[in-house]
Structure 1
Amino acid sequence: MQGTPPLREGVGASTVRLPPGAWRSVLDFLVQHFADVGEANWRSRFARGLVLNEQGRPLTPDAPYVVGARLHYYRELPPEPVIPFTAKILFQDEQLLVADKPHFLPVLPSGRFVQETLLVRLKRELGLAELTPLHRIDRETAGLVLFSCQAATRGRYQALFAQRLVEKTYEAIAPMLPQLRLPYTHKSRMVEGEPFFRMREVVGEANSETRIELLERRGLCNLYRLLPVTGRKHQLRVHLAGLGAPILNDSMYPQLQEREADDYSRPLQLLARGLRFIDPLSGQLREFESERVLT
């Protein structure tokens, strides 16, 4: 009987199936297979019960090597910068969870952030091992993120995004667009730029589309409502920057600005305001709205 190891600080165990080989013990395999970790570190993990068999029980360093067996182990998480802002759960039932994310908090573990991500924080707080975001927003963007709570029904909700059946509404503060008559629909072809994590617009058949509406004037800037039809990476930031109105405090568009650390006094003025869709299980209309405000 196989067991699923519990979450540890909101993070699940890694799993490896032991390949053919002549190792005498599990420790011998780990030391050779993960040479960068080092024997002392592996022995420490064994001593703390962080290496488990496929039933989820702690192993000792001299546990015999069994080809084909599944092995679970927990990674050591290095210290990471603490994000001094918290998300708020706006809705939760058996299938879905809606979180209202602050600026600067990543949705998923990546790079230097694992514990300080929305997903891991929620798993740690709620103990929901199957929690998975159905979409994502940039670390710099605040607002709504929709999560699936159960793997069994996740595909039904993922299909809504794939089929563009989720109406997403954003707000942004950016310079005026006197050359445009609003509302305006911007379409362009977006491709990967330089460096690899940036996007850019090029000549060609459009693969991105955003409707731009004016909500109110704010001095030399406007508060815009943005309705993305497509969901390209950084789409709203690229579209407004391409039109000559980059979103306030955008450190990536139109030009990349190198920063050693986050400036919490200058959050990107982009908010995932609303989500609206028909629930594929109940047939009911679901509507959610962020409680955050751009200032």
Structure 2
Amino acid sequence: MRFLRQFKSILQLHLKAKQRICSELSWFPKMQSPKSVRNAQTQHGEGSSVDVENIFLHRFMLSLEPVLEVNNIGGQDASASPAPECVWFHSVTDVETAEKEDPSPTVSLTKELTEESSATEKRKAESTEDEGKAKKAKFDDDKDRKTKRPGFSDERYDETSYYFENGLRKVYPYFFTFTTFAKGRWVDEKILDVFVREFRAAPPEEYERSLEAGKLTVNNEKVPKDYKIKHNDLLANVVHRHEVPVTSQPIKIVYMDKDIVVVNKPASIPVHPCGRYRHNTVVFILAKEYNLKNLRTIHRLDRLTSGLLLFGRTADKARELEQQIRTRQVKKEYVCRVEGRFPDGIVECSEPIDVVSYKIGVCRVSPKGKDCKTTFQRIGEDGDCSIVHCKPLTGRMHQIRVHLQYLGYPISNDPLYNHEVFGPLKGKGGDIGGISDEQLINNLISIHNAENWLGVEGEIKEEIKSSADDKVQREIKAEPVMAVSVKEPNADATTQTCHEEPDRSYDLKKCTTDPHCHECKLNYREPEEKDLIMYLHAWKYKGLNWEYKTELPDWACKTKINYEEL
């Protein structure tokens, strides 16, 4: 144990040495703690690629792997660290504090690290001169560099605002810059070919126009459409972003204190930015309307699933609850509505679940999967459907939905697992119609594209409307989102958390347009209620010395059930 502490101190000293060295080089950003490696925003949305600053830290950590392997003790990885924390960045003071705790590293190894750092400085200095202006262009603009940091700032929250219409929460279109470093598979390919193949959010002619206009850049420079991507190229694309509407139902705060926030998430709202969602997400809504910023995500719920969602307000609390969930010390209870009359008594399903595709997020029961277990109990009936109480004893992806599909009682309005794409039996008993997983994925993609409610309604607009008729304020049917008063534990005072009041009606002055934006010229069909909800609700979570539960949704209250006895 003492050697491990010494090794940790040496590694931290090495990090500080690298920081001092790299601070003298104009192209290297401020070093962060190794635990702080986090993904940032890319063309796919936030959370799928290494960001501008972390890319160099990522390379540095890779360079340490040989050193870590030499110091492997007893077959255990000396570089192993606790599970990732739900924070974007830690302060460098964390490293300094750790050094104070154990200031006695091995002198010989420290000397070697210092010599290696000196040699690295020379190599970096020489390579920087050789790379030329193209490489330096990435970091010449401090402002641009700042906007690419992970996490969220007030500037990002202020990109746009909300308005309510027809029972939906909508976001005014806004300009946004997607950034990503070149993937290995893109190297030596033409930039236009890569965007047409990898990013299908816009038609090919849109990417070609963006290249010609300088909105799609490489290392902050305009490039021709036949430019061949190189290693470490920073790609940036300025887009006029249109977000998908979500329900106007407010996010209700179940409990809040200085360490934690517990909310009741309505169906249709994603937890964090992903895909076409950014401001219409739980973390953005809580920040903009309740002034609850910098929350740590402890767990997640599917976009269409409603119910309990926990956030940490401090890193320590987030780590504590994450650990409880990871070690299965948290008991979870869900309520769902399934097709058919579910069997009597407690039904247990222990079939292993395998992820067929992480890209599109689909799983199935398979012998190759991971062990998991769920218990079910019918607690009511609603016509030809049953209300079922679910207890997932493990935490696999889509566990409840996949196990119900396997049992032959899928959630009645599950758009994914209650579909003939899984075969005539809809996946009952693991039967997917004799097709391969690859064919299943292809079928799911085609079905998704054909049945997605984001269809075009009517003809494409001749031009972007800006007539006086558009200035007429639209009728709003949504209920207003009110300020929430939450009692602090053991305190009589309440805390007002409302921050930004959304528009009650559409304001033309807040709507931005782009004459070249293909989405501005389309009339999207608005989602209906059936598109926004799935009959699955996270009802109760119980951990060590804590327990939270929500009120039940309307669809679960139609039957006469004494839920308090469960």
- Per the TM superposition, whether the score is higher than 0.5 is yes
Distance 2:398 2:55 in 1: 40
Q: Which amino acid aligns with 2:363?
A: M
Equivalent positions of 1:74-85 (< 5 A) are: 78-85=241-248
Aligned to 2:540: 274
| 2:276 equivalent to 1:117 | no
Question: How has the CA–CA distance of structure 1 residues 277 and 248 changed in structure 2, closer, same or farther, with 3 Å as cutoff?
Answer: same
Instruction: Please identify which structure carries the higher helix content.
Output: 2
Q: Which amino acid aligns with 2:242?
A: P
Displacement of 1:115 in angstroms is 1.1
Distance 2:53 2:365 in 1: 41
Distance 2:407 2:365 in 1: 11
Q: Which amino acid aligns with 2:285?
A: R
SS state of the match for residue 249, structure 1?
A: coil
Q: Which amino acid aligns with 1:16?
A: E
Aligned to 2:348: 185
Percent of paired sites with the same residue: 22
| 2:450 equivalent to 1:286 | no
Contact (CA 8 Å) 1:271, 1:294: kept in 2 or not?
Answer: no
Question: How has the CA–CA distance of structure 1 residues 93 and 177 changed in structure 2, closer, same or farther, with 3 Å as cutoff?
Answer: same
Q: Deviations over 1:77-111 (max 9, x none)?
A: 72212213332111111111111111111112111
Equivalent positions of 1:1-295 (< 5 A) are: 16=53, 20=128, 22-23=132-133, 26-27=140-141, 78-85=241-248, 86-177=250-341, 180-193=343-356, 196-203=360-367, 207-255=371-419, 256=421, 257-258=447-448, 259-261=451-453, 262-265=527-530, 267-278=533-544, 284-294=545-555
Aligned to 2:508: none
Instruction: Please identify which structure carries the higher strand content.
Output: 1
Distance 2:373 2:296 in 1: 27
Q: How many residues align?
A: 251
Distance 2:341 2:348 in 1: 13
Displacement of 1:205 in angstroms is 7.6
Question: How has the CA–CA distance of structure 1 residues 285 and 84 changed in structure 2, closer, same or farther, with 3 Å as cutoff?
Answer: closer
Aligned to 1:6: none
Question: How has the CA–CA distance of structure 1 residues 18 and 234 changed in structure 2, closer, same or farther, with 3 Å as cutoff?
Answer: closer
Aligned to 1:60: none
Question: How has the CA–CA distance of structure 1 residues 249 and 263 changed in structure 2, closer, same or farther, with 3 Å as cutoff?
Answer: farther
Q: Deviations over 1:166-224 (max 9, x none)?
A: 1111001112345x442111111110226742100023686111110111111111101
Distance 2:55 2:344 in 1: 63
Larger Rg: 2
Q: Which amino acid aligns with 1:289?
A: T
SS state of the match for residue 415, structure 2?
A: coil
Question: How has the CA–CA distance of structure 1 residues 234 and 153 changed in structure 2, closer, same or farther, with 3 Å as cutoff?
Answer: same
Distance 2:393 2:277 in 1: 30
Contact (CA 8 Å) 2:540, 2:548: kept in 1 or not?
Answer: yes
Contact (CA 8 Å) 1:172, 1:294: kept in 2 or not?
Answer: no
Question: How has the CA–CA distance of structure 1 residues 206 and 193 changed in structure 2, closer, same or farther, with 3 Å as cutoff?
Answer: closer
Q: Which amino acid aligns with 1:79?
A: H
Displacement of 1:291 in angstroms is 4.5
Distance 2:240 2:372 in 1: 38
TM-score (normalizing by structure 2): 0.39
Displacement of 1:290 in angstroms is 3.5
Contact (CA 8 Å) 1:177, 1:244: kept in 2 or not?
Answer: no
Segments of structure 1 that go 5 or more residues without pairing to the other structure are 3-10, 43-72, 279-283
Distance 2:214 2:261 in 1: 41
SS state of the match for residue 193, structure 1?
A: strand
Contact (CA 8 Å) 1:90, 1:98: kept in 2 or not?
Answer: yes
Segments of structure 2 that go 5 or more residues without pairing to the other structure are 1-29, 31-45, 57-127, 146-178, 183-190, 192-206, 217-235, 422-446, 454-526, 557-566
TM-score (normalizing by structure 1): 0.72
SS state of the match for residue 321, structure 2?
A: helix
